[in-house]
């Protein structure tokens, strides 16, 4: 599966969403999660993300390992998202800020 990681938080550009052939993305207030049971490992979403926040599970940096469970858990409870939408007005200011997990709104 592919995994959305820390840098998506408060960026949520959603460029990843429209390219997903199986609608694997789910939307929270300030983060997206991929449903691991739906993702077919096509990798199309990776180059779309301006925040470079998506990794294959096999290439997940160690410090992002907890995002495996975060994606699995949150994609279960959050609604599906299938279309591009406007990013938060301050998305670029948060792009690249480290350790945004405390700001993840569940």
For position 13 contacting ligand F3S by CB under 6 A, the verdict is yes
Q: Whole-number minimum distance, CB 5 to ligand F3S, in Å?
A: 8
Q: How far apart are CA 17 and CA 81, in angstroms?
A: 7
CB 24 within 8 A of CB 38: yes
Residue with tokens 């279960």: 76
Residues of the shown chain interacting with ligand SF4 in the complex, contacts defined by CB under 6 A: 2, 19-20, 22, 24, 34, 39-45
Q: Which is nearer to ligand SF4, 15 or 95 (CB)?
A: 15
CB burial class (10 A; 0-12, 13-18, 19+) of residue 76?
exposed
> 2, 3, 11, 70: which one contacts ligand F3S (CB under 6 A)?
11
Query: Of 11 and 70, which has the nearer Cβ to ligand F3S?
Result: 11
Which of 49, 64, 67, 78 binds ligand F3S (CB under 6 A)? It is: 49
- Whether 15 and 53 have beta carbons less than 8 Å apart is answered as no
């Amino acid at each position: 599966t592919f995994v959305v990681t820390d840098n998506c938080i408060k960026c949520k550009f959603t460029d990843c969403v429209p390219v997903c052939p199986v609608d694997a993305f789910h939307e929270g207030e300030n983060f997206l999660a991929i449903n691991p049971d739906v993702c077919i490992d096509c990798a199309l979403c990776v180059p779309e993300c301006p925040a470079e926040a998506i990794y294959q599970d096999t290439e997940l940096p160690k410090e992002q390992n907890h995002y495996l469970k975060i994606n699995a858990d949150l994609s279960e409870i959050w609604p599906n998202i299938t279309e591009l939408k406007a990013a938060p007005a301050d998305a670029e200011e948060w792009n690249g800020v480290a350790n945004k997990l405390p700001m993840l709104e569940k």
